[in-house]
C-alpha cells in the first residue's frame, strides 16, 4: 500500500524546535520531489517548503525562511522538516506530499502532488 505518514508533531513553547518526519511506504522516495504544507484552522493550506528528488533544489515559504530546514535521507525513505524558533502562528496541521515531477521555479501546489499524507499537529503555545 502506497502511503505517506508524518510524525514528530506536538506541543512546543514559542522559540522551541521540532523535527517532523515524512515516511514513505510502498514506494521509494529516491525519484520523488517532496513538499511540506500546513493548514491552520480557518485558513487556506500553505506551502512551507519543497525539495527535489536530487536534493539540488529547495524552496521555503517567506514565513519560514531562516527558521525551517528541509532535508531528505533516501536510504531511510524519509524527508524531514526541522523547525526552529517556532512562533504561535506556526500552529497548524503539517502534511507532506510526494510526486515524480521536477521542481522548477517554485514549489508545486498541494493539488499537483500524487501522494499526500494525513498530517501531524504542531501547536506552539506557552
Predicted pLDDT at 107: 93
Cell of 11: 506541543
Distance CA 59, CA 74 (A): 19
Is 90 exceeded by the pLDDT of residue 115? yes
Instruction: Give pLDDT, residue 76.
Output: 94
Inter-CA distances, 68 with 1, 18, 24, 60, Å: 30, 10, 21, 8
pLDDT of residue 34: 97
* DSSP tag of 58: E
Q: Provide the pLDDT for residue 102.
A: 86
101 pLDDT band, cuts 50/70/90, is confident
pLDDT bucket at 45, cuts 50 / 70 / 90? very high
pLDDT band at 103 (very low <50, low <70, confident <90, very high): confident
**In this model, does residue 23 exceed pLDDT 90?**
yes
Contact partners, residue 80, CB within 8 Å, separation at least 6:
19, 20, 21, 22, 69, 70, 71, 72, 73
Average pLDDT, whole number, for the chain? 96
**Cell of residue 42, nine digits:** 480557518
Amino acid at each position: 500500500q502506497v502511503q505517506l505518514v508524518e510524525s514528530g508533531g506536538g506541543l512546543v513553547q514559542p522559540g522551541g524546535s521540532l523535527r517532523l518526519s515524512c515516511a514513505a511506504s510502498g514506494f521509494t522516495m529516491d525519484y520523488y520531489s517532496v513538499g511540506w504544507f500546513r493548514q491552520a484552522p480557518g485558513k487556506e493550506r500553505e506551502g512551507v517548503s519543497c525539495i527535489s528528488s536530487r536534493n539540488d533544489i529547495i524552496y521555503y515559504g517567506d514565513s519560514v525562511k531562516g527558521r525551517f530546514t528541509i532535508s531528505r535521507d533516501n536510504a531511510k525513505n524519509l524527508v524531514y522538516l526541522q523547525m526552529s524558533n517556532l512562533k504561535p502562528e506556526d500552529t497548524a496541521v503539517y502534511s507532506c506530499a510526494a510526486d515524480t515531477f521536477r521542481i522548477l521555479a517554485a514549489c508545486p501546489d498541494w493539488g499537483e502532488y500524487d501522494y499526500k499524507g494525513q498530517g501531524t499537529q504542531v501547536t506552539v503555545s506557552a
